[in-house]
Amino acid sequence: MESTIIGAFDTRRGAELAVEHVVQECGVARSDVFVQPAGGTNACGGADGKAASTPELPLAASSTR
C-alpha cells in the first residue's frame, strides 16, 4: 500500500530527524523517503546556487632562475 505523508519543519535538521524516525521506528525504506524545500530560498548546500561575484585580481607573474 502506498501512502503520502507531508510535513513542514522549521529547520532542515528537524526534517532529517523526522526522516530518521520514520526509517528506524516505522520500517520505511530510506529510498522511499523524499525531502524537498518549500521554496527555492530554502535550499541547503549551495552547489546549485549562484556564487557571489568577486572582483578579479590581476595575475602575478613569476619566474624561476
28 inside domain = yes
Domain that holds residue 20: 1-39
Distance CA 45, CA 2 (A): 30
Q: Which residue has the higher pLDDT, 3 or 25?
A: 25
- Residue 11 in any domain: the answer is yes
Residue 65 within any structural domain of the chain: no
Residue 7, domain member (yes or no)? yes
Q: What is the DSSP string of 8-19?
A: --SSHHHHHHHH
Q: Is residue 35 part of a domain?
A: yes
pLDDT of the residue at 35 = 86
Task: Note if the pTM is more than 0.85.
Answer: no
15 assigned to some structural domain:
yes
State how many domains the chain has: 1
Residue 55 — pLDDT band, cuts 50, 70, 90? Answer: low
Residue 8 domain-assigned (yes or no): yes
**pLDDT, tens digit, for every residue of 4-54?**
888 888 888 999 999 999 999 998 999 999 888 877 665 555 555 566 666
